[in-house]
Amino acid sequence: MTEVDFVIVGSGSAGAALAARLSEDGKHSVLVLEYGGSDVGPFIQMPAALSYPMNMDRYDWGFASEPEPGLGGRRLVTPRGKVIGGSSSINGMVYVRGHARDFDHWAESGATGWAYADVLPYYKRMENWHDGGHGGDPDWRGKSGPLHVSRGKRDNPLFHAFVEAGRQAGFELTDDYNGEKQEGFGPMEQTVWKGRRWSTANAYLKPALKRSNLDLMRCFARKVVIENGRAVGVEIERGGKVEVVRARREVILSASSINTPKLLMLSGIGPGAHLSEYGIDVVADRPGVGKNLQDHLEVYVQQACTQPITLYKYWNLWGKARVGAEWLFFKTGHGASNQFESAAFLRSKPGVEYPDIQYHFMPIAVRYDGQAAAEGHGFQAHVGPMRSPSRGEITLKSADPAEAPRIVFNYMSTEQDWIDFRHCVRLTREIFSQPAFEPYRGKEIQPGADAQSDEALDAFIAENAESAYHPCGTAKMGRADDPMAVVDPECRVIGVDGLRVVDSSIFPRIPNGNLNGPSIMVGEKASDLILGKPPLPADNAEPWINPRWETSDR
């Protein structure tokens, strides 16, 4: 298949969903280009092993930021999936739609047709939701989509202590943050099904590849081929040879918020002066390509646990072997969950209309790279602000497609970032100090009881803040007359025919929470736009907004 109707670059969260939907009626030939290899194997499929694939060259592109001035010159790793299923095959499997107001903001900022009422039907279409007997909002959820969304068992008493502590501190509870009410403490949801990671490879791509009109090609995409202002194909490299696969109808970039702007620039679409620097002919001077880069940062507040009930008891060779064996043979036990089973979405202060802080809670004190705290038994909350004002950019280092782009997040570049982060740490301490944690609370492992002043907390944040791995926004969607917009509300690249971007690059502003869900939704909604189908009827369900939002943070 070297000439097809649609060529999609990338088999990730958006690309896999898009490929499945575009090939569904059998009328169009679709080719997915993917550089990465197979997702078969326990490191990807076992949910609890999530710290492995994102640190493995085999599955990860291996990107890192430039030294970040706001974080003391640290370079932060920026994992992106280089495997079937893309980042949905190496992520933390947390499922968050985002708050209704996030999407209303998209629409207000020029992404017409992407308000919550417009995207909610697509969330329902993609979901197969299992509440696990924990309640929730069935009317707001989908029951027959390809994406299984489930909840952990929450067997560990610490999951309940966290939620109860939130209640004791005066905050709201919610039994479904993906339903009517995001704000509050409650159960966390995961893309796990029958004990396995439910990536978009498992949900969409593998079932769809049984169709004769959908194919997957392992290759490296070098650039989009543009003739007379129209995208006609993709220049690829495979087996040491450079060739072109042609698209009769459209080329669609779903290559991630890092690789998509890189491909656009290599193809002559981007800030004209920057492209000319590297001798790239300018096809469309779009200054917004690579700009508007956003991410979520978080810190881990860790507390020692006085009872030996945390996952630390499995943090040895024998324990890991036992957990691994139970998962391998039965797909049950601790291996069958990502261990993020309780969560909270809170507002940082009065006057903030909807949550701008997210918590992931875990019954172990451990880092994303799998390093456990030396203190032994402990628990932790990952916490960070959701709407940082800082913006970064992706630029080219050279005109060589094999070279990674330059990534500058500009983390913590505004005073507001520091104010918000200090508040997050102090708020977590308030929650951990509630009576619900009395039976379990040992000493504070980090930041540590000595870190009380603004200066001490700032030093802790600069040294320890980690990316939540939610980069987005580098080819933002907006009005065609917005000079910084890269795609219009139909995901069409402005100034080039036959070319679209369908992935987290197009987010005008980062939504609340983890980005796998919104990225899949973009693939679902874009498929209808591309096929010229009428959009699903708007769903005007009204989200819960805290009646005290103007006067209280809880």
Is 7 marked as a binding-site residue?
yes
Is 337 marked as a binding-site residue?
no
Is 5 marked as a binding-site residue?
yes
Is 186 marked as a binding-site residue?
no
User: How many residues belong to the chain?
Assistant: 554
Q: Are 16 and 204 in contact (CB under 8 A)?
A: yes
Q: What share of the chain is helix, strand, coil (3-state, %, to 5)?
A: 30, 25, 45
Compute the CA torsion angle 406, 409, 415, 419 (nearest 10 deg): -150
Is 13 marked as a binding-site residue?
yes
Is 209 marked as a binding-site residue?
no
C-alpha 101/C-alpha 115 separation (Å) is: 8
Write phi, then psi, for 108 (nearest 5 degrees).
-65, -30
Is 526 marked as a binding-site residue?
no
Q: Are 148 and 202 in contact (CB under 8 A)?
A: no
Is 51 marked as a binding-site residue?
no
SS3 144: coil
Is 328 marked as a binding-site residue?
no
Is 34 marked as a binding-site residue?
yes
Is 18 marked as a binding-site residue?
yes
Is 150 marked as a binding-site residue?
no
Is 6 marked as a binding-site residue?
yes
Is 459 marked as a binding-site residue?
no
Residue 24 — left, alpha, or beta (φ > 0 → left; ψ -120 to 50 → alpha)? alpha
Is 536 marked as a binding-site residue?
no
CB-count burial class (<10 Å; 0-12, 13-18, 19+) for 119? buried
Is 91 marked as a binding-site residue?
yes
Q: Which helix (H) or strand (E) holds 536?
A: none
Is 8 marked as a binding-site residue?
yes
CA atoms within 13 A on the CB side of 156: 28
Closest alpha carbon to 255 in 547, 505, 532: 505
CA atoms within 13 A on the CB side of 381: 28
Is 276 marked as a binding-site residue?
no
Q: Which helix (H) or strand (E) holds 223?
A: strand 220-227
Q: Are 527 and 22 in contact (CB under 8 A)?
A: yes
Q: Are 491 and 465 in contact (CB under 8 A)?
A: no
Both tokens of residue 323? 């957990």
C-alpha 30/C-alpha 16 separation (Å) is: 11
Both tokens of residue 405? 């782009």
Closest alpha carbon to 221 in 282, 262, 177: 262
CB contact set of 313 (below 8 Å; sequence gap of 6+): 319, 377
Characterize the bridge pairing of strands 30-34 and 214-218.
Answer: parallel
SS3 300: strand
Is 12 marked as a binding-site residue?
yes
Is 32 marked as a binding-site residue?
yes
C-alpha 358/C-alpha 382 separation (Å) is: 8
Marked catalytic residue, from 99, 296, 360, 470: 470
C-alpha 14/C-alpha 29 separation (Å) is: 18
Is 227 marked as a binding-site residue?
no
99 is catalytic: no
Is 16 marked as a binding-site residue?
yes
Is 94 marked as a binding-site residue?
yes
Is 14 marked as a binding-site residue?
yes
Is 532 marked as a binding-site residue?
no
- Known binding-site residues equal 5-34, 83, 91-94
**So which residues are the catalytic ones?**
470
Binding-site entries for FAD: 5-34, 83, 91-94
